[in-house]
């Protein structure tokens, strides 16, 4: 069958990445090592299983699985078959799964067994579709059964075809489906390979969910002939052990994971001797904790700024730019993203003026699934309106100030939560702080801070209030400060500000 387009689709890139190497190791999973040729055979086997389950090009196929080679194998099979892929987050609720399956018009869901057998049973009671099991524990049998199989060509597709339908984390009510075409993921794969500081000997530790950010890194890694080491669940002990055992050279973590590594009782910078590049992102990082990490570990860190609507490649703060004056920055825009700061009147902001971060270019999503009004609003004027408030400095470095929805309006004045958090995080006994706005009869919204205090230490709330008042002024000073053992996190590892706002409101009640 002739190709549908002369363009190289995402499926073409996956096929090319896996067929240029044979005996190199593609995956290390516990004691198993899968060569590139093994992965090709397993993908072809999975493609046959998908067709047997009734999958045809254009269908919606979802995947619920942890961090295993089979997760990528199933994902690749879905894309190569010309179907539309949706990831279900392993930590999300049954309600979220069902909403995504229904709203995303999913026909088949691939589910890891035995881990999610109970979830699969509950899903089938509420959703009318086909469940296709995948079994990491049956890897040896799958390798035997796939002997002699060869990876067939991808199903023909157009660059404009939607190959990925993602959903924003922690949805309630109607999900927000983010439709992304082959164009978006080809851009993601090629520019990730170009823009990011990959080590020459590439052994990448996948310790965040492969269903989300880490999954988008697989194709760039395989295009470079690298190896992916899988880790089912992140713990500081497990992370450090795996890095040492497999001489990991690169990884991606979220800020909360970095804090836990730094605070781990046995951590030593020597543990990371093999690691050249530690990529981090997904939520704003504390400049104080980042400074600590750079001081301890040296120039190993690279920040990625993106969002589901423009995955991973809005800007990059490179290793060499992790200097004292830049640690609050998320770097300079990448070559595939045109980034501007626009004020409320639509005019472009001058350097150091705060406005909304807007992006255009081939990395931007195609729109929201079945939400034309929201799509038109978010992509107004041909720009992705990110909902992030930020500024550029004179040298073109981008700084995220806050999410528009997280900005606190108190007494008619704007308070950026991140600026208050940065001051609180400077206190020697505060491990991490998160600031939200809570309804207040007098102020409209009150600035409320939640802090995790260093174990064995005690900090008076008034001391922290006075610290912010001295550094930033009385308007930004919290009206209330609560000490908590841990901050609630979303399934993606971000501080859950919605949960904190609810908690702040509850705690304020008499």
pLDDT tens per residue across span 14-69? 999 999 999 999 999 988 999 999 999 999 999 999 999 999 999 999 999 999 99
Query: Given this model, what pLDDT does residue 174 score?
Result: 64
Name the DSSP class of 326: G
286 and 255 Cβ atoms separated by less than 8 Å:
yes
Sequence spans of domains, the chain: 10-183, 234-404, 407-508
Query: Given this model, what pLDDT does residue 430 score?
Result: 92
Q: CB-side exposure of 335: number of CA atoms within 13 Å?
A: 8
Other beta carbons within 10 Å of 266: 8
Query: Given this model, what pLDDT does residue 169 score?
Result: 53
Q: What is the pLDDT of residues 260-292, one digit of tens each?
A: 999 998 999 999 999 999 999 988 888 989 999
Nearest to 398 by CA among 332, 351, 347: 332
Structure tokens at 441: 């009869």
107 and 56 Cβ atoms separated by less than 8 Å:
no
Matching CATH topology for 10-183 and 234-404? yes
CATH number at 234-404: 3.40.50.12780
Query: Given this model, what pLDDT does residue 170 score?
Result: 42
329 and 397 Cβ atoms separated by less than 8 Å:
yes
Percent of the chain with pLDDT over 70: 97
CATH assignment of 10-183, given 3.50.50.60, 3.90.245.10, 3.30.360.10, 3.40.50.980? 3.40.50.980
DSSP codes of every residue in 138-201: GHHHHHHHTTT--PPPPPP--TTSEEEEEE-TT--SS--EEEEEHHHHHHHHHHHHHHS---SS
The residue to which tokens 């990395």 are assigned? 363
Structure tokens at 389: 């408030």
Query: Given this model, what pLDDT does residue 97 score?
Result: 92
Query: Given this model, what pLDDT does residue 3 score?
Result: 47
Rounded alpha-carbon distances, angstroms, from residue 314 to 162, 387, 441:
21, 13, 39
Query: Given this model, what pLDDT does residue 404 score?
Result: 83
H or E stretch at 418 = helix 417-425
Quick one: fold of 407-508? GMP Synthetase; Chain A, domain 3 (3.30.300)
312 and 361 Cβ atoms separated by less than 8 Å:
no
- Report the chain's C-alpha Rg in angstroms: 23
Query: Given this model, what pLDDT does residue 270 score?
Result: 94
Residues of the chain with pLDDT under 70: 1-6, 169-174, 492, 510
Per DSSP bridges, beta strands 250-253 and 203-206 are parallel
Average model confidence (pLDDT) across the chain = 92
H-assigned helices in 53-93: 69-80
The residue to which tokens 């200097």 are assigned? 323
Between CA 168 and CA 180 the distance in angstroms is: 13
Q: For residue 366, give every residue at least 6 positions away whose Cβ sits within 8 Å of its Cβ, in sequence order, or none.
A: 160, 162, 179, 180, 181, 183, 184
47 and 94 Cβ atoms separated by less than 8 Å:
no
């Amino acid at each position: 069958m002739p190709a549908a387009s002369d363009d190289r689709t995402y499926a073409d890139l996956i096929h090319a990445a896996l067929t240029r190497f044979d005996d190199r190791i593609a995956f290390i999973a516990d004691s198993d090592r899968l060569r590139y040729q093994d992965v090709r055979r397993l993908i072809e086997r999975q493609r046959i299983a998908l067709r047997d389950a009734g999958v045809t090009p254009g269908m919606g196929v979802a995947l619920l699985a942890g961090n295993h080679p089979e997760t990528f194998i199933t994902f690749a099979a879905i894309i190569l078959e010309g179907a539309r892929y949706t990831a279900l987050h392993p930590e999300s609720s049954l309600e979220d799964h069902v909403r995504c399956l229904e709203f995303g018009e999913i026909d088949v869901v691939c589910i890891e067994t035995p881990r999610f057998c109970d979830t699969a049973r509950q899903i089938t009671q509420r959703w009318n579709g086909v469940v296709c099991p995948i079994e990491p524990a049956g890897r040896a049998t799958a390798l035997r059964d796939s002997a002699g199989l060869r990876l067939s060509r991808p199903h023909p597709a157009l660059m404009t075809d939607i190959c990925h339908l993602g959903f924003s984390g922690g949805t309630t009510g109607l999900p927000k489906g983010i439709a992304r075409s082959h164009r978006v993921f080809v851009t993601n794969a090629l520019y990730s390979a170009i823009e990011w500081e990959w080590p020459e000997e590439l052994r990448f530790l996948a310790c965040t969910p492969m269903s989300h950010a880490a999954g988008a890194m697989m194709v760039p890694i395989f295009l470079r002939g690298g190896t992916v080491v899988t880790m089912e669940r992140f713990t500081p002990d497990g992370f450090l052990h795996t890095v040492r055992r497999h001489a990991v050279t690169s990884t991606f973590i979220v800020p909360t994971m970095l804090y836990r590594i730094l605070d781990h009782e046995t951590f030593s910078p020597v543990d990371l001797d093999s690691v050249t590049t530690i990529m981090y992102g997904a939520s704003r990082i504390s400049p104080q904790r980042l400074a600590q990490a750079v001081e301890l570990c040296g120039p190993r860190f690279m920040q990625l700024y993106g969002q589901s609507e423009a995955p991973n490649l809005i800007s990059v703060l490179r290793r060499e730019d992790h200097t004292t004056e830049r640690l609050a920055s998320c770097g300079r825009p990448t070559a595939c993203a045109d980034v501007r700061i626009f004020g409320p009147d639509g005019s472009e902001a001058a350097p150091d003026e705060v406005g909304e971060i807007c992006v255009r270019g081939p990395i931007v999503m195609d729109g929201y699934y079945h939400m034309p009004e929201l799509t038109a609003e978010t992509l107004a004027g041909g720009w992705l309106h990110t909902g992030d408030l930020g500024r550029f400095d004179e040298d073109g470095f981008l700084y995220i100030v806050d999410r528009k929805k997280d900005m606190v309006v108190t007494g008619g004045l704007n308070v950026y939560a991140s600026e208050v958090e940065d001051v609180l995080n400077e206190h020697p006994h505060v491990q991490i702080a998160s600031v939200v706005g809570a309804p207040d009869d007098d102020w409209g919204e009150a600035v409320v801070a939640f802090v995790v205090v260093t174990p064995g230490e005690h900090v008076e709330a008034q001391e922290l209030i006075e610290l912010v008042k001295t550094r930033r002024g009385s308007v930004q000073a919290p009206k209330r400060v609560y000490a908590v053992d841990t901050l609630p996190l979303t399934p993606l590892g971000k501080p859950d500000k919605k949960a904190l706002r609810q908690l702040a409101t509850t705690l304020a009640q008499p």
